[in-house]
Amino acid sequence: MTEFAEKLEVADNDPALKLPFIRGIITQLRAMDTYGTYDTWNDARVIDPLVLTKERRRDIPVVGDPDEVVIARIKAYYNAIAAGIEVESHLMAMPVINLSHEGFGRALIKVGKLVVVDKTLRDVHRFGFDSLEQLAREGSTLISDAAALIQQHRQVAEL
């Protein structure tokens, strides 16, 4: 059961669930579910914890350490971005995530010798997005920006 099981923010019929980037995150989350917890869950319930409304954020302490579930969500997010970059560029993209136990660190995505995404991570125990649409928009923007960078520096990306 999710931390926010009392009220889901993502509806079963939300059109954003059909967006390619959202489908990619759901695929990544399901792939990471080694115990089969998500087998009986619909897609809205699987991705719902990534939507942090103001009310949900208020319920999360300002200071805290990330647990394994939150870290898995972060990995799924950056894995989905890497998969999207691979589709756009036809080159292998590798996410590298380095986090301290306090929830600070960095997320990189490399294509060859080229770093195409570089994000500083802070307070990852509060990782999430205001809406599913914002999640899709930010992920898609990172993918398109990375694809443009690869086009500009193709030789480095192919190393």
Q: Which CATH number does the domain 15-157 belong to among 3.30.70.260, 3.40.190.290, 3.30.70.3270, 1.10.3100.20? A: 1.10.3100.20
| Cα-only R_g, the chain | 16
Residue 1 confidence (pLDDT): 36
How confident is residue 119, by pLDDT bands cut at 50, 70 and 90?
Answer: very high
Q: What is the DSSP letter of 131?
A: S
pTM: 0.88
What amino acid occupies position 16?
Answer: A
Residue 64 has pLDDT above 80, yes or no: no
For the stretch 90-104, pLDDT in tens is: 999 999 999 998 889
Q: What is the DSSP letter of 60?
A: S
